[in-house]
Amino acid sequence: MMHILTLDTSTEQCSCALLCGTDIQARSEWAPRRHAELLLPMAEALLAEAGLTPRQLDAVAFGRGPGSFTGLRIACGVAQGVALAADIPALPISSLAALAQAAVQEFDGEQVLAALDARMAEVYWGRFTRNAQGIVEVQDEEHLSLPEAVDLAAFSSSQWLAVGTAWAAYPALAKRVQQASGQVPVLRYSQAEALLPLATTALQQGLGVTAAQALPVYLRNQVTHRI
């Protein structure tokens, strides 16, 4: 039986999920600045209920970003530690893909725009399409840009979903999305449970990495100015 632990602390939401064969258990809490305090106790509770120890896991997945820098490092650091201790692969999963995956499962859609508030007047965003196996795949690549630069013309049909956290911060983007898709964009935070289908697929495809290779993808890499 396959055992996969997933962790996500890329937003204010702190969440963990555990796959045991076909059974899924998950924990999630709205917890700004409390991720360090909550993440491992949540994981321990899930494993204890399943009668497992960390060494019995087959893989550990984490929301690799984009998202809150500190949050990304907490889930990534914990995943590195677990992967190293249990000698198992780590699976870095896109937070935007996790949002899109949750959306296609919740709303039964085909195409998704996932967009997160990146602060500093920018958004992280990506276009995703559901494949025949029901797993979302990124189109083109993930972006960091001004909200005006989010490219909606690339959606082939007028029927698509928009999920994420960008809408409240950028009402003009929300309005543009609603006009183009005919639907109100949905406020959603990425959840560890939504990482599971992506993590299972990634593991089957041999995309697991070593603890040392498991790193966040920040997208924003200009974080300071040279003197």
Partner 1 sequence: MRILGIETSCDETGVAVYDSQQGLLAHLLYSQVALHAEYGGVVPELASRDHLRKLTPLIQQVLTNSSSHGHIDGVAYTQGPGLIGALLVGASVGRSLAWGWGLPAVGVHHLEGHLLAPMLEENPPAFPFLALLVSGGHTQLIQVDGIGQYTLLGESVDDAAGEAFDKTAKLLGLGYPGGPALAQLAEKGEPGRFVFPRPMTQRPGLNFSFSGLKTAALNTWQKLEQQSDPQAQADIAHAFQTAVIDTLAIKCRRALQQTGLKRLVVAGGVSANQRLREALAELSEGWGAQVYYPRLEFCTDNGAMIAYAGCMRLQQGQQEPLAFRATPRWPLEELNSSQ
Query: What residues make contact with partner 1 under the rule CB under 8 A?
Result: 36-38, 40-41, 43-44, 53-55, 69-70, 73-74, 76-82, 84-86, 211-212, 215-216, 218, 223-224, 226-227
Amino acid identity at 2: M
- Compute the least distance from the CB of residue 210 to partner 1, in Å: 8
Q: Is the CB of 93 or the CB of 102 nearer to partner 1?
A: 93
Q: Cβ-count burial of 36 within 10 angstroms (0-12 exposed, 13-18 middle, 19+ buried)? A: middle
Distance between CA atoms of 188 and 167, rounded to whole angstroms? 10
- Compute the least distance from the CB of residue 151 to partner 1, in Å: 28
Beta strands at 3-8 and 111-117: parallel, antiparallel or unpaired: unpaired
- Compute the least distance from the CB of residue 195 to partner 1, in Å: 17
Q: Is the CB of 9 or the CB of 181 nearer to partner 1?
A: 9
Q: Is the CB of 78 or the CB of 104 nearer to partner 1?
A: 78
CA 30, 12, 190: angle at the middle one, nearest 5? Answer: 90
Q: Is the CB of 1 or the CB of 223 nearer to partner 1?
A: 223
Distance between CA atoms of 99 and 116, rounded to whole angstroms? 10
- Compute the least distance from the CB of residue 42 to partner 1, in Å: 9
Closest by CA to 160, choosing from 196, 129, 188, is 129
